[in-house]
A and B are shown apart, each in its own frame.
Chain A
Amino acid sequence: MKIVVIGNGMVGYKFCEKLVAKSQPQQFEVVVFGEEIRPAYDRVHLSEFFGGKSAEDLSMSPMDWYENNQIKLHLSDPVQSIDRTAKTVHSYHGITESYDILVLATGSSAFVPPIPGVDKEGVFIYRTIEDLEMMQSYSKKAKKGAVIGGGLLGLEAAKAMIDLGITDTAVIEFAPRLMPRQIDEAASGILANKLEQLGLKIHTSKNTSEILGDDCIKGMQFSDDTKIEVDMLVISAGIKPRDELAKLCGLEVGHRGGIVVNDKMQTADSFIYAIGECALHQGMIYGLVAPGYEMADVVASNLVSYINDDLSNTPLGVRGGEKAFLGFDMSTKLKLIGIDVASFGDPFINTNDTRTVVFEDTMKGIYKRINISGDGKYLLGGILVGDASAYNMLLQTSKNKVILPPNPEDMILGGRAGEAEGNGVLGLPDDAIICSCESVTKVGICKAVSEDGCETIDALKKCTKAGTGCGGCVPMVKDLMVHTMKSEGKYIRNVLCEHFAYSRQELYDLVKINKLKTYDEVLDTFGNGDGCELCKPPVASILASLWNDNILAKGNSTAQDSNDRFLANIQKGGSYSVVPRIPGGEITPDKLIVIGSVAKKYSLYTKITGGQRIDLFGAHLSDLPKIWEELIAAGFESGHAYGKSLRTVKSCVGSTWCRFGLHDSVSFAIQIEERYRGLRSPHKLKGGVSGCIRECAEAQSKDFGVIATEKGWNLYICGNGGSKPQHAQLLATDLDSETLIKYLDRFLMFYIKTADPLTRTATWLNKMEGGMSYLRNVVVNDSLGIAAELEVEMQTLVDSYKCEWKEAIENPAIRKQFSHFINAPEEKDPTMKFEAMREQKKVKDWS
């Protein structure tokens, strides 16, 4: 059977993928026409193009996927006509293909309202990678932006403007509120507030009457006689189904567009199907990807069962197959400009026999609403803005008609979200859809774990496809996996990888007791196989934490993570950075001059870091030892910017100069930084010391923070910046300096011994049973009786500290490793390219 697919977008591609998966090779001959220049890509994540993703990253499958599956793909070649009598299609480049079955997956285009001036330069739509590329080049000369449309797509476009650097952007919405179709007025208000905080200007109830300017857009005129200046505009006000081909060959289309289909996705011509955003099903166009995938599944399943059941005597096309499309839930969860927005079920329902619970926190910008049936048994729908962590659970609860607990409001207020969610997912029925993008059920996931042995998220993704679409269901998939494994009596430990059946903590103890000194000894004694990039760095880190030998000493250098192996962070293009230690941020003018002259000599880009020191970027591998030689001669030492080890202890100027300072925070910060420099740990460590409660050193955002009080120092621990910032918590108050250092020794050593790899102190504490009170008991009250031991271990490490860069430059065997070409050590990597910027250099962007 020969199938021709028109349109190689998300849904057209999914159809091919499903057909390949369900059928035997050679059962179908498939020919695809795509109008765009590249094979199907992930339009849902289009905006990430501006966040640095390449067209390739967004691609659904590379070109050779089509080849390998014998699918003929004509790109840049739109179909121009369909001859239904001859059953052929004819393309722009003159190709004529016959078909037995034709699938229209032409998607939609942006709806452009008929405003005078929309054809001016600087006016864009937002649908394809080409649109984005055009925006990108135009944006360089634009300062003031605007977006028409305050719905889902409009806000997506507004984010794109911010990403393009046009932060002065206005959002123009015709309706009185943002996202009128998904969320209610209160939620829109909260959303508007948050967007305004980001610098966007929100204009609702605004009707654009004209686009001003000569050739290029200069401004916008509104019907209420106001106007604004604009030099770049994106129209993102809705979609228009691409039904022009269907119309041309006489198929029925809706009066507002869309190709009319039945439950089998057949058009008025039963040999022609329409799926995705071009299809009009029961008066409805689905502008989301999940329903499109379901439509693709319906058609692929029915065509395969037609062939397999050998119904060739029933006329093809008349028999539609068994599977039907029965409408689709329009629940959505989006991350708009970093703000969660979700709505599910019936978000607006508000009748006499329903109840509504609303939680609102205008300070934090959080709004949650759930609609419950009058008898309190069922969840009917709801809205979440600002925090949509409960979305999956709520959606499943409403979709599967799960009976609600006695206090349903806990579902949106619940303090212990993790726990509630874990129990929640287990309470769902077996056929609950967990991944709606790929229609994977709960039982499907559990079976893949128990019967197919998928015991990692990656394995589950490969085998079930769950979590490969929008990714929102991954936490639930993980819960189900862990639960299924536990119920089979499998002990779940955070083992390092396939080569070591131990957690980091277990391995730490084993290595210590057995006095192992190299990676190979550890692998031979406690592991199997040859090791990999997952177990080498943590084992190397354990060895360094225990024995403090030079990390490049023979046998261990190639077990180090790549940055440690060259004692520097690798940068785009393959150059390295140099970060000398500047304890507490204090530096003499002479040392500043040395940094300046070294940077000049080796042509390095210099920048003050967020950690109060100076980073020199763009060093060639072979220059590293020479650069360090000069720095060390001037009294510098390694700053360990490359290691999972102590970075900086930030300080404020403190009582020596500041009129508010209570103690000398700089001296104390230097003392602490020098004490723990070079200390290898499960993840990096940062500290801060502030001279008073004004907290200019931001100590409470560090792994350990010290703040001066009238009587001594307060000690805070387990704070974190990064993607999930968390403030440090108070461990003890009014300490003298010796006690504080004692507590720090115990705390850091306990962390080093027990944390999982790459776990910062904040995450380590979050996972610790008993939390802060347990940790305080261990550190302050010595509840485990190990305090003295921890202090001794730390002191040993402090005493054995050596600058590893100094050792590296003095050791010819180590020095030899710092060349790009082993057989041409003087030559530098010729592919490394730099460009000039603001009187310094920058690395050439990767393509």
Chain B
Amino acid sequence: MENWFYACKIEDVPANGGVCVKYKEEQIALFNFSRRGEWYATQNECPHRQQMALSRGMIGSQNDEPKVACPFHKKTFSLATGECLSGDECAIKTYAVKIEGDKIYINLHPSAPKGELETHELIA
């Protein structure tokens, strides 16, 4: 698979939290959902008020759906699908993540495979 770019190291991302990764002009929120052993990447911009803030949000789950809450007005978005779980804000983009050794890679291409399976395999 092409288009993978190196983001940062595993140790750079706090457990059960996020960081913001810069790639060219893009800002990507990268989340280490260590409680579930999963990694997620989404756009950093919250669609509600166009704030570059999702990476600073709290993550958690709602009926088992992994989600992030924007720090500004606590709109929540699914980390898996990007769908807005509170009201009708637009969905956010989600991206594929893979781990090799202690390095994290992100793929902005929409067709890149996402999901826990791949990341689990790669961690192991």
Interface residues of A (CB under 8 A from B): 61-62, 498-499, 520, 529-533, 535-537, 555, 557-559, 561-563, 565-566, 570, 572-574, 817, 820-824, 827, 829, 831-832, 846-847
Contacts and interface: CB of A to CB of B under 8 A. Distances in A.
Contacts of B2: none
B49 A846 contact: yes
A536 B58 contact: yes
Contacts of A536: 58, 60
A843 B59 CA distance: 27
Contacts of B76: 532-533
Contact of B20 (A520, A572, A820): A820
A201 B61 CA distance: 54
A555 B17 CA distance: 10
A585 B58 CA distance: 34
Contacts of A557: 14, 17
Nearest to A816: B12
Contacts of A62: 88, 90
B49 A822 contact: no
B71 interface: yes
Nearest to A563: B71
B71 A821 contact: no
A532 B17 CA distance: 12
Contacts of B123: none
A836 to B, nearest CB: 22
B74 interface: yes
B60 A532 contact: yes
Contact of A570 (B19, B58, B71): B71
Contacts of B50: 846-847
A13 to B, nearest CB: 14
B15 A555 contact: yes
B97 interface: no
A561 B70 CA distance: 11
A396 to B, nearest CB: 29
B69 A520 contact: no
B56 interface: yes
A615 B56 CA distance: 22
B62 to A, nearest CB: 6
22 contacts: A498-B62, A498-B63, A529-B64, A530-B33, A530-B35, A530-B60, A532-B58, A532-B67, A532-B69, A532-B76, A536-B60, A558-B14, A558-B58, A565-B17, A570-B53, A570-B71, A570-B72, A572-B49, A820-B52, A823-B7, A832-B52, A846-B51
B119 interface: no
Contacts of A566: 56
Given A531-B60, A565-B56, A829-B52, A823 B22 contact: yes
Given A530-B35, A533-B58, A846-B51, A822 B19 contact: yes
A562 B71 contact: yes
B82 interface: no
Most A Cβ at <10 Å: residue of B36, B61, B67: B61
B16 interface: yes
A569 to B, nearest CB: 10
A561 B69 CA distance: 10
Nearest first, the 7 closest Cβ-Cβ pairs linking A and B are: A532-B60, A562-B71, A558-B17, A533-B69, A822-B19, A530-B61, A821-B22
A846 to B, nearest CB: 5
Contacts of A532: 58, 60-62, 67, 69, 76
Contacts of B57: 533, 562
Contacts of B30: 822
B60 A823 contact: no
Contacts of A821: 20-22, 27
A823 B8 contact: yes
B13 interface: yes
A738 B24 CA distance: 62
A563 B66 CA distance: 22
B60 to A, nearest CB: 3
A778 to B, nearest CB: 34
A827 B21 CA distance: 11
A532 B58 CA distance: 7
Contacts of A555: 15
Contacts of B13: 822
A61 B35 CA distance: 36
Nearest to B18: A558
B61 A531 contact: yes
B14 to A, nearest CB: 5
B37 to A, nearest CB: 11
Nearest to B53: A574
Contacts of A565: 17, 56
A511 B67 CA distance: 26
A498 B7 CA distance: 34
A124 B12 CA distance: 57
A499 B59 CA distance: 13
B51 A573 contact: yes
Nearest to B69: A533
Given A822-B12, A822-B13, A847-B49, 4 more contacts: A532-B58, A533-B69, A823-B8, A846-B49
Most A Cβ at <10 Å: residue of B14, B35, B72, B88: B14
B62 A817 contact: no
Interface in B18-56: 19-22, 27, 30, 33, 35-36, 45, 49-53, 56
B117 to A, nearest CB: 18
A532 B19 CA distance: 18
Most B Cβ at <10 Å: residue of A498, A529, A823, A829: A823
A570 B21 CA distance: 19
B107 to A, nearest CB: 16
Nearest to A846: B49
Contacts of A829: 27, 52
